[in-house]
Structure formats: structure tokens, C-alpha cells
């Protein structure tokens, strides 16, 4: 049996292994959400957050680009209204709205033949359809990580892109090394999805993440 951690918990754990995450706040009510957003500065994102929550986007549980307190309050109420008892305990996650054209994916997978692997590739909603990814077995060395990035078909994405600076490969490499280290340090980890891993000013940041552990 496996269990998934909530988005907030997943990010907390991953941040401990060097995966860059945003300054995010948890809130239980629309009022708390507004307070959190005031603290972060606008615009923000409001998302449902809970161990039982998946497919957030498809279910309308992610509200982007909220520019002021009124928008946050209304979005928070909508999100809370859209979840039900079957979702288990649900909180609100308030995050700064980041802008980045490029979405990558990074993760861990437990392969039935080869065991746990690190992955990197083109992310976002098209990740599976495009399938531009590279895998290596845990543990990976810095040289393996460099080669994974080199192996991706869409090298143009990693370069200077639509007015944004090139992706800092070393910073992206640190994410992959961190995932490998995470797997090594905890044998219970069976899967990690960091998708999207958005490139902001050339540096990757985990905008959504999910960790699955064996029980």
C-alpha cells in the first residue's frame, strides 16, 4: 500500500532535499486566505490542498492570478465549496503567482525491473503527450544529471527562450540530485512528481508536487 502526501507536505519534504519551492501559506478559511495573500503580496494562487486531492486543475480547485483580497476571498470560498467529504481533510494553499513560459517535469519512479529512477523532461499538461524525458537509476552522479539534460530533444527550451534567460542547468541538476538523494535517504519513497517545475528567470521552481510513500 502507498499513501500520497498533500501538496504542502510534499513540498516541505522536497525542499529539505534542495528542490526550490515557493513561499506558500496554508489557510483554513477565506479570511485566513486573504491574510496569507496580504502577507505574500499580489497576485496569488489559491489551491485546494489535502492528501486525498488529485486532479486539482480538472476539478477547478486551482485559481490563478488573483489580484486582490476580494478575488482571493471569493476563490477560496469557491474552492472550499467544490470539495466534499470524500476528499478528506482539505486546506487552502496560498502561493505567489509566478510567471514562466517554460514548464518542466522532474520526478522519481519505482520501476518494476530496475527500481527507483530519477526523471526529467518537458512538463506541464502536455508532458505525457510529448514524452521528451530522460531517466537514470538512483543514485545519480552530477555527470549523469548533465547527460540527462543533454539528452532531452527540446534543447531550445533550455536555452534563451522568448525573452527569458537560459535555464541554469546547474540549478536544474541540483533538483535531480536532490530527488536522487531523497530516494536514497528514504526507502519508503516510491514516486515523486514535480509538475510543473516552472522556469522563473532561468531558475526552476516546483509549482506543484506530489510525493508517494509506501506504508
Partner 1 sequence: MTAVASHRFDALFEPRGVIVAGASSHPGKFGFVALHNILRHEYGGAVFATNREGGEILGVTACTSIDDLPASAADLVFVCTPAAANVELMRACAKKGVGAAFVTSAGYGEAGEEGRRAERELVELAEELGMLLVGPNGQGVVSTPVSLCAQIVAPYPPRGRIAIVSQSGNFVSSFQNYAVQTGVGVSRAVSAGNAAAVTVPDFLEYYAADPETSVALAYVEGVVDGRAFYEQVRRVAERKPLVLLKGGRTGGGQRAAASHTGALASDERVFEGMCRQAGVTLAGSVEEAFEAAATFATQPLPRGPRVAVLTTAGGWGVVTADAVVRSELELAPLPDDLRTVIDAKLPPRWSRNNPIDLAGAETRDTIPEVLELAAGHDDIDAVVYLGLGIQSNQARLMRTGPFFPDHGLERIVAYHERQDERFARAAADVSLATGKPVLTATELAVTDPDNAGPRTVRATGRLCYPSSNRAVIALEHLWRYARYGMRRARA
Interacting residues toward partner 1 by CB under 8 A = 4, 54, 105, 107-109, 111, 113-115, 117, 119, 121, 123, 127-128, 131, 133-137, 140-144, 147-148, 151, 191-193, 195, 210, 212
Instruction: Bin 122: left if φ > 0, else alpha if -120 < ψ < 50, else beta.
Output: beta
Of 87 and 212, nearer to partner 1 (C-beta) is 212
Of 75 and 104, nearer to partner 1 (C-beta) is 104
Q: How far is the CB of 137 from partner 1 (least distance, A)?
A: 6
Of 78 and 144, nearer to partner 1 (C-beta) is 144
Report the distance separating Cα 191 and Cα 168, nearest Å. 25
Of 23 and 141, nearer to partner 1 (C-beta) is 141
Of 15 and 137, nearer to partner 1 (C-beta) is 137
Q: How far is the CB of 78 from partner 1 (least distance, A)?
A: 26
Q: How far is the CB of 41 from partner 1 (least distance, A)?
A: 30
Of 42 and 135, nearer to partner 1 (C-beta) is 135
Q: How far is the CB of 113 from partner 1 (least distance, A)?
A: 4
Contact call for residues 213 and 203 (beta carbons, < 8 A): no
Contact call for residues 207 and 98 (beta carbons, < 8 A): yes
Give φ, ψ of 210 to 5 degrees: -145, 130
Q: How far is the CB of 50 from partner 1 (least distance, A)?
A: 16
Report the distance separating Cα 147 and Cα 215, nearest Å. 34
Contact call for residues 6 and 175 (beta carbons, < 8 A): no
Cα angle 6, 32, 9 (rounded to 5 degrees) comes to 15
Query: 123 Cβ partners below 8 Å, 6+ apart?
Result: 103, 104, 105, 106, 195, 196, 197
Report the distance separating Cα 75 and Cα 71, nearest Å. 6
What single-letter DSSP state applies at residue 101?
Answer: S
Q: How far is the CB of 127 from partner 1 (least distance, A)?
A: 5
Amino acid at each position: 500500500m502507498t499513501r500520497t502526501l498533500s501538496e504542502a507536505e510534499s513540498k516541505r519534504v522536497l525542499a529539505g532535499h534542495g528542490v526550490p519551492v515557493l513561499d506558500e501559506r496554508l489557510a483554513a478559511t477565506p479570511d485566513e486566505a486573504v491574510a496569507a495573500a496580504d502577507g505574500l503580496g499580489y497576485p496569488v494562487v489559491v489551491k485546494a490542498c489535502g492528501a486525498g486531492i488529485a486532479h486539482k486543475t480538472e476539478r477547478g480547485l486551482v485559481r490563478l492570478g488573483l489580484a486582490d483580497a476580494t478575488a482571493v476571498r471569493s476563490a477560496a470560498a469557491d474552492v472550499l465549496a467544490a470539495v466534499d467529504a470524500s476528499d478528506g481533510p482539505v486546506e487552502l494553499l496560498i502561493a505567489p503567482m509566478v510567471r514562466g513560459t517554460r514548464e518542466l517535469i522532474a520526478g522519481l519512479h519505482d520501476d518494476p525491473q530496475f527500481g527507483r529512477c530519477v526523471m526529467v523532461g518537458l512538463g506541464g499538461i502536455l508532458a505525457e503527450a510529448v514524452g521528451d524525458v530522460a531517466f537514470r537509476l538512483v543514485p545519480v552522479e552530477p555527470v549523469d544529471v548533465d547527460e540527462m539534460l543533454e539528452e532531452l530533444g527540446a534543447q531550445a527550451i533550455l536555452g534563451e527562450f522568448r525573452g527569458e534567460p537560459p535555464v541554469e542547468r546547474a540549478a536544474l541538476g541540483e533538483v535531480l540530485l536532490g530527488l536522487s538523494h531523497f530516494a536514497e535517504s528514504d526507502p519508503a519513497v516510491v514516486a515523486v512528481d514535480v509538475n510543473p517545475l516552472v522556469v522563473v528567470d532561468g531558475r526552476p521552481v516546483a509549482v506543484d508536487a506530489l510525493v508517494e510513500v509506501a506504508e
